[in-house]
Amino acid sequence: MENSLTLLQLTQRIAKLMTVPATQNIWVTAELSDVSVRNGHCYMELLEKDEQGRQVAKFRGVIWASNYMRIAPEFMAATGQQFSSGLKVMVCASASMHPVYGMSLVITAVNPEYTMGDLIRRRQEILRRLKAEGILELNRQLEWTEFPHRIAVISAQLAAGYGDFINQLYNNGSRLRFSVKLFPSIMQGNSAPESIIASLEAIANESDQWDCVVIIRGGGATSDLQAFEDYELAATIAQFPIPVMIGIGHERDITVLDYVANRRVKTPTAAAEFLIAIGDNLLANLQQLGSTILQKATDLLSASKEQLSYYEGLMPIAPTNALHRAQTRLNQSVMALNGISGRRIAPALERLRIISENLSGYTTQAIARSRQKVDTAERMLGMLSPDAVLRRGYSLTRVGGRAVTSATELREGEVIETLLANGTVVSTINTISSDKKI
């Protein structure tokens, strides 16, 4: 048609329509997303969300290098934060239409006093709640095994980040072997937290089979990472019984999970590199230990060889030297024995001679004393014998052959036998009296 416009003419007409006071140098509030700096220029997406967190508006924004060199340090000094994704900001912008790059808002100033975005506030609220509940540091305090090679991975099954992780892990230069199992999960959108929690519960049911959990997702728009700003998911990771490593997005991307997991790495590839580095360090330590053992063994063998050579040199002369030393000790012992015998045997012989001379006299005296004792005992025995007692005028009374020692043992009419020195008298008892008359 004759009245048709070229695309360039249309974009120029739109640019004229947009370049009006109502769209120039106006203050706009929005949330930043996908902030990146290239060649000194800062590019971003400006978002607006409703109360349910759904996007209701989106516009491309740019701060040219001439302004960004001023805005960035001023914003950092005022807020303590870099100009980055997730912040809710108030910017002075002008609508612009470029024939090639399309529509955008060119930002010339930023109000640093404006509050942080909903994303940052929600993250801080989650972290404060986890800290108040005493679970914020639990997973971060867990100790890693010496070599974590049994790895449970949570990721989308066909995700590029998971592929990068596996390639990096299995193609490591040290040929370390890892055992990996994928627990497929939704990694974007409103259903992502619930899906990841389900995978964590499945891993917990067999936690004795795994050394760690790795949650990975490749890069993307910052707004796509909002699924990881979830309290229930963060609480589950914080209380998980084995170490959890997070490798989500790019190096600049940070989520609440990075604050509760045992370790945070910048990308899925970095997660694999971390695990490989642990194995490499262990392998290096083993190699160092092996080298130390080898050196010690070599030193011992060398010392043993030197000692063996020394003894081999001694062997031809050792028996002769030993015999010579033994003969010398024997001669010394003989000489010492001769000296000792002369000093000790002679006095002993003298004592023996004296004893021999006195022995006969001692024997005669001992026999005489013994004979005297025997004679004395014989005389005393004769004086105490029954016959001697009877000769001195005493008698012995018996009844039925039994000696009587008391009058109470007798009865009137009994026949008694009385032994005297020169005979025996047999009598019959008429009267028994207890009176003692001598």
The whole-number average pLDDT for the span 51-63 is: 89
C-alpha distances in angstroms, 20 versus 71, 91, 98, 183? 25, 18, 15, 54
184/204 Cα distance (integer angstroms) = 15
The mean pLDDT of the chain is 85
- The tokens for 417 are 């036998």
The whole-number average pLDDT for the span 149-157 is: 94
Interval 333-351: pLDDT, tens: 777 777 676 667 777 777 8
C-alpha distances in angstroms, 411 versus 89, 165, 408, 431? 149, 134, 8, 9
Higher pLDDT, 191 or 391: 191
Highest mean pLDDT among 161-170, 302-311, 316-325: 161-170
Interval 67-82: pLDDT, tens: 999 999 988 877 656 7
Asked if the model's pLDDT at residue 422 lies above 70, the reply is: yes
The pLDDT assigned to 177 comes to: 93
Counting residues of the chain whose pLDDT is more than 70, the rounded percentage is 93
Interval 260-300: pLDDT, tens: 999 999 889 999 999 999 999 998 888 888 888 888 988 88
The pLDDT assigned to 438 comes to: 56
- The tokens for 160 are 């590029």
The pLDDT assigned to 115 comes to: 47
Asked if the model's pLDDT at residue 433 lies above 70, the reply is: yes
Q: Which residues are bridge partners to 418 per DSSP?
A: 397, 425
The pLDDT assigned to 116 comes to: 52
Q: How confident is the model at residue 257 (pLDDT cuts 50, 70, 90)?
A: very high
Q: What share of the chain is helix, strand, coil (3-state, %, to 5)?
A: 50, 20, 30
Closest CA to 155 of 202, 206, 192, 204: 192
Closest CA to 120 of 73, 69, 80: 80
